[in-house]
């Protein structure tokens, strides 16, 4: 049987604290029985952040920007683990009201990847501890190949892990609507590329599957969600995002949750579930929804 760990999602922080720090989230995560907390590690994502840092929306963070957006932690409680949720490559509205194009995720560019890795390292140093898992996104750059992403995951894992005394994080790729990896077939192609080009990563790195995004893609393409889900290699799934358009899921959703959890039951290794909810009062509801299908205590029912 596989052990399931839950994530306390990244919620809006109190006014004036921007992205906050580890400890307030950790205290709340403990109350919800979550193993991980989610920390945003995106580029500049709002007009408020743009004004505070002087960096345009969708721009990569500098050390000075990180010091303004994150709170440091002098002492880290034993057992605290977190997951970075890096830039999803969405367009944003700038401080002057102009919508800017999404960040270009250049996984094929070694210089860009080094800068990206250094940004994540700097955020972790500010927070006071390294991340256990880093989530990345495909982006929409058509010049990026599945091989590029697989090799970028290897480089990011090694660069970040070497900096933190040989503690390499798991790296997981999230499917996103409108990106170069959004349906089940593309996720399978990515997993095949990872197996071929970086096979040593396959035990700790892979896919974090956003079921709502997969459903949206199927609907937009006029295809069957079940076909998309069936194409995703279960052995490559390291985590799940469970939500319905960032609301608590319901059996009445168009997503066939019974089919989803029947598929999830086939994952042959430990994995995490992130209830990617924007409202604090729906986190417990979402974790209870998952446990209703998968069993209590984080242990999958066989």
Span 111-130, pLDDT tens digits:
999 999 999 999 999 999 99
% of the chain with per-residue pLDDT over 70: 97
Residue 287 pLDDT class (50, 70, 90 cuts): very high
Give the per-residue pLDDT at 302: 38
Residue the block writes with tokens 């599957």: 209
16 located within any domain: yes
Q: Would residue 90 count as lying in a domain?
A: yes
**Would you state the structure tokens that stand for residue 181, as one six-digit string?**
């990896």
Which band of pLDDT confidence, cut at 50, 70 and 90, is reported for residue 13?
confident
**In this structure, what CATH number is given to the domain that contains residue 183?**
3.20.20.150
| Confidence grade of residue 300 (pLDDT, cut at 50, 70, 90) | low
Mean pLDDT, residues 164-178 = 94
Residue 302: inside a domain? no
**What pLDDT, on the 0 to 100 scale, is given for residue 138?**
98
The mean predicted confidence, pLDDT, of the chain is 94
- Residue 118 within any structural domain of the chain: yes
Distance CA 270, CA 276 (A): 19
Tally of structural domains, the chain: 1
Which range has the top average pLDDT, 14-23, 164-173, 186-195, 277-286?
186-195
pLDDT of residue 223: 87
Q: In a 3-state reduction of DSSP, which class is residue 40?
A: strand
DSSP E strand stretches across 164-213: 170-174, 206-210
The answer for residues whose C-beta is within 8 angstroms of residue 70's C-beta and 6 or more apart is 18, 19, 20, 21, 123, 126, 127
Domain range for residue 143? Answer: 4-297
- How far apart are the C-alpha atoms of 276 and 11, rounded to whole Å? 9
pLDDT of 9 above 80 = yes
Quick one: CA dihedral 35, 117, 276, 271, positive or negative?
negative
Q: Rounded CA gap, 26 and 30, in Å?
A: 6
Domain presence at residue 269: yes
Element (H, E) at 286: helix 283-294
* pLDDT tens per residue, range 215-242: 999 998 888 999 999 999 999 999 999 9
Q: Is residue 117 part of a domain?
A: yes
**Cα–Cα dist 301/268, whole Å:** 13
């Amino acid at each position: 049987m596989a052990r399931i760990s839950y994530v306390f999602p990244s919620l809006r922080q109190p006014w004036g604290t921007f992205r906050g720090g580890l400890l307030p989230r950790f205290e709340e995560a403990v109350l919800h029985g979550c193993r991980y907390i989610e920390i945003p590690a995106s580029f500049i994502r709002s007009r408020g952040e743009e004004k505070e840092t002087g960096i345009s929306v969708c721009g990569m963070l500098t050390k000075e920007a990180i010091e303004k957006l994150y709170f440091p932690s002098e002492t880290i409680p034993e057992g605290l683990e977190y997951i970075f949720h890096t830039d999803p490559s969405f367009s944003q509205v700038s401080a002057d009201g102009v919508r800017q194009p999404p960040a270009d995720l250049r996984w094929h560019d070694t210089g860009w990847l080094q800068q990206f890795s250094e940004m994540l390292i700097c955020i972790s140093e500010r927070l006071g501890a390294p991340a256990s898992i880093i989530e990345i996104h495909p982006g929409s750059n058509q010049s990026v190949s599945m091989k590029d992403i697989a090799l970028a995951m290897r480089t990011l894992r090694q660069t970040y892990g070497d900096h933190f005394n040989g503690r390499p994080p798991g790296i997981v790729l999230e499917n996103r609507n409108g990106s170069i990896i959004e349906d089940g077939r593309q996720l399978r192609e990515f997993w095949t590329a990872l197996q071929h080009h970086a096979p040593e990563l396959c035990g700790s790195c892979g896919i974090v599957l956003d079921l709502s995004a997969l459903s949206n893609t199927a609907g937009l393409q006029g295809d069957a969600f079940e076909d998309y889900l069936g194409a995703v290699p279960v052995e490559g799934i390291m985590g799940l995002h469970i939500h319905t358009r960032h609301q608590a899921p319901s059996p009445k959703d168009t997503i066939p949750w019974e089919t989803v959890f029947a598929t999830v039951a086939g994952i042959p290794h430990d994995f995490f579930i992130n209830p990617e909810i924007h409202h604090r009062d729906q986190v417990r509801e979402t974790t209870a929804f998952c446990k209703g299908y998968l069993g209590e205590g984080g242990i999958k029912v066989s």
